[in-house]
Chains A and B, each alone.
Chain A
Amino acid sequence: MLFVDRVSRSFGSVAAVHDVSFSAERGSVIGLLGPNGAGKTTTMRILLGIYVPDAGRVTWNGAAIDLATRRRFGYLPEERGLYGKMKVRDQIVYFARLHGLHADVARKHADAWMARLEIDEYADRACNELSKGNQQKVQLAGAVAHDPELLVLDEPFSGLDPVNAETMLSCIRTLSEAGTTIVLSSHQMFQIEDACRSFCIVGAGRVRASGSLTELRQAFPTRSVRVAPDLPAFRALFAARGAPAPRADGTELIYELPVTADFGALLREAVAAGPLETFERQEPTLSQIYIRALGPSNGHPA
């Protein structure tokens, strides 16, 4: 189990990460969300021991993370990097061997991952001869060829086309099912929502919200109600319950009401007030939760 406990790290006078805490069970996938400069990469680098925190601690299965533990982790940084002239297989084998695998085992794992990611035909080609998408696959294979216990993926979907993004998602699911704990960051809400079991939204180096999607939704203070048609009677009904002016979405109007509102009673009153065609209570999306958690300043101090 990964446990991040009140971790802080500053660079000069800038607090990149402040009092960040979260945890991840074995085999779970946690998404770090936040705008650029929120502290996601710094947090990930602290997990990997690249940076030492100024305060707080990070443990893996109850013990502090040392170099031997880090060799059981895998890392895909946001800025991809490969040895351009090195052959694809050699590159993956090199990374696997740096993580402690014997040469023969490293080669077997490299071949298996190349086949899974459909880059085995490029095994003996230099990396700089591959397309960007295939280079990203090589990088992923290098990060996972040693069967890491914890995999840290910084913006794994960045620059991927839909097909390769789906391949990445599939790998994340496979690894998670096999017991690998995964920490990933992304701006792509759709993919991160699909991949992660829990989330940690950070802004200006601080945790703004965290938990599973269900928990985050439960903590969200409002719900949207999609209503059609647009009738004065319906507007009056929602205004009476304190809903702000609705926003239009085609022929439908979307009202925001406190989560504590009696939506059943409201539906009954709407049916009585006019010819109701649509009345749909909607759970907040991850995007809505993200935007609300970070506020209008996008997480940065006003």
Chain B
Amino acid sequence: MSELGVVLVTELGRKLRSAIFWLATLGGIVAIAFMVEAPVLLAALERSSSSDIVLAGPEPLRDRAAALMEAHKDYRVVASVDALPQHVTPNYLERHGKAGAAVAISLRAGRIHLDVYPKDLSAFDDVEFRSLSPLNVELVTGLASARVENASKIDRTIHPLDAKFADTRAAALAHGVTFGLVFILYLSIVISSQSIMSAVAEEKTNRIAEILIATIDPTNLLYGKTLAAAVVAMAQIGLWVATAVVLLPQAASSLVSSSSVSSPPRTGDAGAVLAVLDPGLLVAFAIFFVLGYLQYATIYAAAGSLVSRTEELGAVATPVILPVVGAFLVANFALVQPGSPIVIACSFVPFLSPFVIFTRIAISEVPAWQIALAVIVNIATVAGCFWAAGRVYRVGMLLYGRLPSPRQIVAALRA
């Protein structure tokens, strides 16, 4: 096995045996599961506290109102009574299907009048009972509510300007999923790159670097460490994305069904999420993650080689963390304006490109030549980073004392 292979395998083993790696991986899985499931849990909680109502009133009016509300998924009538007590208390609501509110419906001056008693005013979703409007029009004008409702409908056809998404729901889901993936990309690059920087600094400060550099080509040491960290980070992200892929469709399905009082969950929502997370997007994510990761990790490793004490890591971390933060911000702008000239230009700017081009691919139609150009730019950037980082690393690992000046770093690059 080549020395690069030995370094790669050993570094992989060290990382996989590290308790911190497993804590971070499992913690990430739990965090993603929580983030995915949290809206479902919140929706369930909200439904029980605000959407469920006790409906009171004369029987014919009450039944027609209940039918309209349930058909429009505004509220779910958990209990029907002729009249409410003089004082509606939380206990009363609790006894009647744990409702979030009591609503008394009556007629005043030939119109519907509602007396609403919410348990928690802040949590009560006051949607103005729009589903009762056709019934109100019927009572005032004499037109049948079904006719009113039918006449109120506006037929519309949405014509997407590109063929990326079939409908607005798919597009909205894609934005959400893309933001999640870009955030994972950002988080993983920041965490893993900082981990590499600390590991390099530790090797230098505990003087093991001198033995390694006396034995093998320092650039092979740098490459081996960086690639091992990339493989581990990929595995980690793979687990995180797999968690999201498994849970997201179920969560989406639950969310849609939770907003529907009577209809069963629609499998189309789960399918839409899976359609967003198609293999092509995941491959693009993997490619631009690796390319982006290698750009940042090598620079971070070189930065780590410049410190003499781990306490100095903060001083060198600040300048190298700014590009990744900038890339994340530009990617967020790209999420809103994927076709902006600035965003398109940033797709080919080293260090920004992995984030921006991936965001554009995920939410818009990107010409193939732009993707190819971005890949070429990123590969060239990775090669340049390895070259520059290798030179700085070779010199930096044996440099002790004060942090080197920018002039000294340039001298190392020219050496």
Do residues B14 and A50 form an inter-chain contact, with CB atoms below 8 A? no
Do residues A50 and B7 form an inter-chain contact, with CB atoms below 8 A? no
Tell me how far the C-beta of B409 lies from the nearest C-beta in chain A, rounded to whole angstroms. Answer: 15
Which one of A67-75, A217-225, A242-250 is at the interface?
A67-75
CA A191 to CA B349, docked complex, whole Å: 61
| Chain B residues near A48 (CB-CB < 8 A) | 214
CA A142 to CA B398, docked complex, whole Å: 20
Do residues B214 and A86 form an inter-chain contact, with CB atoms below 8 A? no
B interface: dominant SS: helix
Name B79-93 residues within 8 Å CB distance of A.
none
Given A82-B206, A83-B14, A98-B6, A75–B211 Cβ distance below 8 Å? yes
Specify the chain B residue showing the minimal Cβ separation from A71: B215
Do residues B207 and A79 form an inter-chain contact, with CB atoms below 8 A? yes
Tell me how far the C-beta of A18 lies from the nearest C-beta in chain B, rounded to whole angstroms. Answer: 20
CB of B1 within 8 A of chain A? yes
CB of A94 within 8 A of chain B? yes
A interface: dominant SS: loop
Contact flags (1/0) for A78-89 with B, using CB distance below 8 Å?
A: 011111111000
Tell me how far the C-beta of B405 lies from the nearest C-beta in chain A, rounded to whole angstroms. Answer: 12
Do residues B207 and A49 form an inter-chain contact, with CB atoms below 8 A? no
CB of B210 within 8 A of chain A? yes
| Chain A residues near B213 (CB-CB < 8 A) | 50
CB of B126 within 8 A of chain A? no
Do residues A82 and B208 form an inter-chain contact, with CB atoms below 8 A? yes
CB of B365 within 8 A of chain A? no
Given A94-B6, A97-B6, A98-B3, A81–B215 Cβ distance below 8 Å? no
| Chain B residues near A70 (CB-CB < 8 A) | 214-215
Tell me how far the C-beta of B18 lies from the nearest C-beta in chain A, rounded to whole angstroms. Answer: 8
CB of B123 within 8 A of chain A? no
| Chain B residues near A67 (CB-CB < 8 A) | 216-217
CB of B212 within 8 A of chain A? yes
CB of A255 within 8 A of chain B? no
CB of A99 within 8 A of chain B? yes
Residue among A81, A97, A142 with the most chain B CB within 10 A?
A: A81
Tell me how far the C-beta of B378 lies from the nearest C-beta in chain A, rounded to whole angstroms. Answer: 30
CB of B10 within 8 A of chain A? yes
Residue among B203, B206, B210, B217 with the most chain A CB within 10 A?
A: B210
Interface size counted on chain A using CB atoms at 8 A: 29
CB of A95 within 8 A of chain B? yes
Do residues B208 and A98 form an inter-chain contact, with CB atoms below 8 A? no
| Chain B residues near A50 (CB-CB < 8 A) | 210, 213-214, 398
Do residues B210 and A98 form an inter-chain contact, with CB atoms below 8 A? no
CB of B343 within 8 A of chain A? no
Which residue from B10, B18, B214, B217 sits with its C-beta under 8 Å from A94?
Answer: B10
CA A71 to CA B216, docked complex, whole Å: 7
CA A49 to CA B7, docked complex, whole Å: 19
Do residues A80 and B1 form an inter-chain contact, with CB atoms below 8 A? no
Name B210-231 residues within 8 Å CB distance of A.
210-217
Specify the chain B residue showing the minimal Cβ separation from A82: B208
| Chain A residues near B203 (CB-CB < 8 A) | 81
Tell me how far the C-beta of B172 lies from the nearest C-beta in chain A, rounded to whole angstroms. Answer: 46
Specify the chain A residue showing the minimal Cβ separation from B7: A98
CB of A77 within 8 A of chain B? yes
| Chain A residues near B209 (CB-CB < 8 A) | 81
Q: Which range holds the interface residue count of chain B?
A: 20 to 34
Do residues A79 and B1 form an inter-chain contact, with CB atoms below 8 A? no
CA A42 to CA B138, docked complex, whole Å: 98
Specify the chain A residue showing the minimal Cβ separation from B217: A67
Given A83-B14, A97-B6, A75–B215 Cβ distance below 8 Å? yes
Do residues A98 and B207 form an inter-chain contact, with CB atoms below 8 A? no
| Chain B residues near A73 (CB-CB < 8 A) | 214
| Chain A residues near B13 (CB-CB < 8 A) | 90
Name A35-64 residues within 8 Å CB distance of B.
45, 48-51
Do residues B212 and A98 form an inter-chain contact, with CB atoms below 8 A? yes
| Chain B residues near A81 (CB-CB < 8 A) | 203, 206-211
| Chain B residues near A143 (CB-CB < 8 A) | 211
CA A70 to CA B214, docked complex, whole Å: 7
CA A97 to CA B212, docked complex, whole Å: 11
Name B1-23 residues within 8 Å CB distance of A.
1, 3, 6-7, 10, 13-14, 18
Name B171-221 residues within 8 Å CB distance of A.
203, 206-217
Contact flags (1/0) for A146-184 with B, using CB distance below 8 Å?
A: 000000000000000000000000000000000000000
Given A94-B10, A97-B6, A98-B6, A84–B216 Cβ distance below 8 Å? no
Tell me how far the C-beta of A102 lies from the nearest C-beta in chain B, rounded to whole angstroms. Answer: 8
| Chain A residues near B214 (CB-CB < 8 A) | 45, 48-50, 70, 73, 75, 77
| Chain B residues near A79 (CB-CB < 8 A) | 207, 210
Given A86-B14, A97-B6, A142–B211 Cβ distance below 8 Å? yes
Specify the chain B residue showing the minimal Cβ separation from A76: B211
Residue among A67, A98, A99 with the most chain B CB within 10 A?
A: A98
Do residues A83 and B208 form an inter-chain contact, with CB atoms below 8 A? yes
Tell me how far the C-beta of B203 lies from the nearest C-beta in chain A, rounded to whole angstroms. Answer: 8
Nearest 10 Cβ contacts at the A-B interface: A81-B208, A81-B207, A79-B207, A48-B214, A81-B206, A75-B214, A77-B210, A97-B6, A98-B215, A94-B10
12 intermolecular pairs with C-beta atoms under 8 Å apart: A45-B214, A50-B213, A67-B216, A73-B214, A75-B215, A77-B214, A81-B206, A85-B18, A94-B10, A95-B211, A98-B216, A103-B1
B positions within 8 Å CB-CB of A: 1, 3, 6-7, 10, 13-14, 18, 203, 206-217, 398
